[in-house]
Structure 1
Amino acid sequence: MSRLGVVFGPLVSGSTYRRWVYLLLGAALLFFYLAIELTVNTVLHQQLPGLPYLIVTPLLFVLPPVLTAFLSAVRIVEAAAVRALLGLSFTVPTGGGYSWEVRWRTATWYVLHLLLGGVAAAAALFAVPIGIGFLLTPLADVPVLDVGVARWTLQHGWSSAWIPLLGVTLIVSAIYLGAGLGVVLMRAVPALLGPTPSERVAELERQATLLAERNRLARELHDSVGHALTITTIQAGAARRVLATDPEFADRALLAIEEAGRAALADLDHVLGLLREASTSTAPQPTLDELPQLLATTRSAGVTVHEELAGELSSVPLAVSREAYRIVQEGLTNALRHAGKVPVTLRIAVLLGNLELELVNPLGTAGGADRDGGGRGLAGMRERVTVLRGRFSAGAEDGQWRVCVRLPLRAGA
């Protein structure tokens, strides 16, 4: 912006006049409180002696606006006015209560708004009428110009040309004053109307919780729908190859596809229900109690699964059982996707306050090389284990792909 734009820009900028509107709103509120103070002051002046009266009078001027600003709605209304008239975009937290720190900050802002509005209104009431009078002086045939604080004898001709110029100066100065006071208020907005440190921390915690929930839902979709699609793909391929020669097997494969599709739709409906913040009637997530159905679905795809279960799986806490189920589901899906129809050994044991889980399968023709590709399988399992403060390892070992997981049954164990 050029120097002329910096100097004369406020005169033609719409933001200058929006700031003036905001300041005049503060002035109107100030005059309202002054009217109350003057009314009460008239009564007290007759009832109270000298010293108590001198003490009460300042309190009557300060307390009404401060007490008004303690209302939570004042902060919301002021923030909306600031966004609309001062052009600042910021968010006022609506949750977490209305602390005393917020109340005092809002009260400081409210009083500042009233005082600066009063200054702007006083300047406007002085400068604008007088300025207009000075501008109209050449049209009036008056020998003396009296503005109360000063008195000039007017002469005809160029000797009085300075009077209209003075009028323009007064009006322009009032405009610049409003723009300057608006800048002062804008500088104070973050400190007085913006979020407090505790509100910023609460907002960061809320965003972190929301992000964690989104990541959890992404893992749910990946594990449940990914498993169902893998089973469906393999079963569909098998059914197509034997449709003419073994209709009975093809029928079983199609039935398995149907069941896997229904299970995936149920999981998808559950996750979408959470995204929509649906009611608590949404179906619960599967746990280790549903492990037999998961193994049966995997076996129907032609995968041999040997399970070794030890301990009371029904005593595993719900959160651990839920995550363990998803880890097993993803492990079986990865084995089928990357190694093909190879035998898988699943070991689950409840030992010494931990849930021990191990999945082992031959590497197959792919050799496990693509397990760290574009998918989210291992990363999703690792995230689930990390959330529960467990231990996770996965990798090739002696021609076998091994996934080992340890989940503590108690928090902090």
Structure 2
Amino acid sequence: MLLRSLRPLVRAVTYTRWLHLVIGAIVPLAAGLIYPGLSSPTLGDWLIAAALPVPVVAALALVPSARRAEGLQARLMLFPGKHARARGGKVLVDAVTGVSAAPSASWADRGRTALWLVFRMEAGLVAWIVSIWLLQCALVLVDTAVEEPVVGSLTPPAGPGTAFLAPLPLLVLLALVVAGGRLDEKVARRLLGPSVKERMTALEEKTERLLERNRIARELHDSLGHALTLAVVQAGAARAAKDPEFTDRALSVIEETGRAALEDLERVLLLLRETGRPRGASPGLDEAARLLDSARSSGAQVEAEVTGPVEDLPGPVSREAYRMLQEALTNALRHAGQVPVTVRVTAARSRLRLLVVNPLPEGRPPAVPGSGSGLRGIRERAALLGGEARSGVKDGAWRVDVTLPLR
């Protein structure tokens, strides 16, 4: 218990917080030196010195950058550590400190900044006065030769035998240092914390990061799943055929598919590492011929029909449609085997439709519509683009039908 109570005294943050608090006394002390003067101040003089700078300090809060400066200073002195600094010069709402370093964006932000500046000034003045008084008390108690208090002094009288009481004011001062620093921290979180707008912005950024991670996970699933499915199908077909020429073609397809999967994997890893290296562009629907050729080389009979200017599709629609087609073909090869697959791609002025149909394998029960992570990924991709994806059995065949808006 004793060690726990003494732990704050060995932490540097305790004294940086006290310094941050006492710095606020500079303004009222400077004002008091001008008027009414602090040569022999009375209680009324201290009150005047504390009240005079309030309008000027409150007016300073009207400057938007004042909030940013106070937030950065509070982060640095009240919450020391790597999180105390704005990373890369970017204004952030720090999750560790809970203090915003953004300029004031509303009158509510300016009002809270004004309250913070007034609090720093007044609390700093009180901390400075109390610190000086306690130090004077300790010195007077040590100086046991002084029998009478100095006229006008706030320090208590001392006499012989009172030197052993000298540590008492210092202990009180240390306790006030710890308590004042914690009060300063709590008020900073309250008055310099993020506004509603900043919280919404931070929430939107977090949501975007989560969506980006989900997109990367889907891309890995689609790309690597497609490559592994083709490799397994090709290897099985080559072993069953026992034809050297067919085996060579199968190995070529496996090599090409594996190389493409490695390129996708490297691009996704670059996204995860967030390096400054250029990132390769994701394939679009205009490169769908590669997917169709890979499916055909595995033994599937793919009949494809593309209608409309596929090469002019918006980038996000083209890339997501490519991944949807990849997943639909992968599912057909994985669950149905070497069966005829019909692919219809229709690009109109207002929408894109993607239809993949394959017959159900004999002796195998149909899958539950919408089940599986691949089909769920197709639905999520379509929903993010404002479209719709449906899958299920119709007329004895498995259908994946995707409609995406182009506007």
Taking structure 1 as the reference length, the TM-score comes to 0.76
Q: Equivalent of 2:268, from 265, 268, 271?
A: 271
Q: Which residue of the other structure, out of 125, 128, 152, is the alignment partner of 1:121?
A: 128
- Classify 1:261/1:109 alpha carbon distance in 2 versus 1 (closer, same or farther; 3 Å): same
Residues 97/17 of structure 1: CA separation in 2 closer, same or farther (3 Å cut) = closer
Q: How does 1:7-406 map to 2 (within 5 A)?
A: 13-14=8-9, 18-19=13-14, 21-31=16-26, 34-35=29-30, 38=33, 58=53, 62=57, 70=66, 72-84=68-80, 89-93=96-100, 99=105, 102=109, 105-134=112-141, 137=144, 140=145, 144-146=148-150, 148=153, 170-242=169-241, 245-277=242-274, 281-350=278-347, 353-364=350-361, 365-369=363-367, 376-406=373-403
| Other-structure match for 1:46 | none
Give the distance between the partners of 1:90 and 1:153, measured in 2 at CA.
Answer: 45
- Taking only the aligned residue pairs, the percentage that are identical comes to 38
Q: For residue 195 of structure 1, give the secondary structure of its aligned residue in structure 2.
A: coil
In 2, Cα distance between the equivalents of 1:69 and 1:40? Answer: 29
Shift of the 321–185 alpha-carbon distance from structure 1 to 2, 3 Å rule, reads same
**CA distance in structure 2 between the aligned counterparts of 1:68 and 1:122, rounded to whole angstroms:** 31
Judged with a 3 Å threshold, the aligned counterparts in structure 2 of structure 1 residues 346 and 60 are, in CA distance, closer, same or farther, namely closer
Contact 1:304–1:342 (CA under 8 A) maintained in structure 2:
yes
Cα distance in 1 between the residues matched to 2:64 and 2:287: 59
- Offset of residue 264 of structure 1: 1.4
Q: What is the distance in 2 between the residues matched to 1:75 and 1:253?
A: 63
Question: Matched residue pairs, number?
Answer: 379
By how many angstroms is 1:61 displaced? Answer: 6.3
Q: Work out the CA distance in 2 between the residues paired with 1:366 and 1:319.
A: 36
Does structure 2 conserve the Cα–Cα contact (< 8 Å) formed by 1:239 and 1:249? yes
Contact 2:57 2:114 in 1 (8 A): no
Q: Equivalent residue of 2:320, what SS? A: helix
Shift of residue 78, structure 1, vs aligned partner = 1.6
Q: How many angstroms does 1:303 deviate by?
A: 0.6
For residues 4 and 274 of structure 2, the distance between their equivalents in structure 1, rounded to whole angstroms, comes to: 49
Q: Distance in 2 between matches of 1:9 and 1:246?
A: 78
**Structure 1 residues 341 and 13 mapped into 2: Cα distance closer, same or farther (>3 Å)?**
same
Instruction: Give the distance between the partners of 2:259 and 2:349, measured in 1 at CA.
Output: 38
Classify the secondary structure of the residue corresponding to 1:70.
helix
| Structure 1: distance between partners of 2:283 and 2:14 | 58
Distance 1:175 1:295 in 2: 76
SS at match of 1:199: helix
Q: Helix, strand or coil for the counterpart of 2:80?
A: helix
Could you tell me how far apart the structure 2 residues matched to 1:354 and 1:136 are? 91
Instruction: Call closer, same or farther: CA 1:199–1:61 in 2, change over 3 Å.
Output: closer
**Post-superposition offset of 1:340:** 1.3
Q: Aligned-pair distance for 1:33? A: 6.6
- Give the C-alpha shift of residue 167 in structure 1: 5.8
Q: Deviations over 1:176-222 (max 9, x none)?
A: 44444334323312221222211111000011111111111221221
Counterpart of 2:253 in 1: which secondary structure?
helix
> How far is the alpha carbon of 1:10 from its aligned partner?
5.3
Conservation of the 8 A alpha-carbon contact between 2:13 and 2:78: no
CA distance in 1, matches of 2:384, 2:201: 21
Contact 1:16 1:179 (C-alpha < 8 Å) held by counterparts:
no
**Rg larger in structure:** 1
Residues 223, 326 of structure 1: 8 Å contact kept: yes
Q: Deviations over 1:118-161 (max 9, x none)?
A: 21221121123224423653xx4x6545573588696x8xxxx7
AA paired with 2:232? T
Residues 65 and 175 of structure 1: CA distance in aligned 2, closer, same or farther (over 3 Å) = farther
Q: C-alpha separation between the residues in 2 aligned to 1:281 and 1:409?
A: 28
- Cα deviation for residue 353 of structure 1 reads 2.7
Higher helix share: 1
TM-score in terms of structure 2 length: 0.77
1:182 maps to a residue whose letter is G
- Are the equivalent residues in 1 in contact too, given 2:79–2:97 (CA < 8 A)? yes
Matched, 1:409 2:393: no
Structure 1 CA distance for aligned equivalents of residues 321 and 312 of structure 2: 13
Shift of 1:333: 0.2
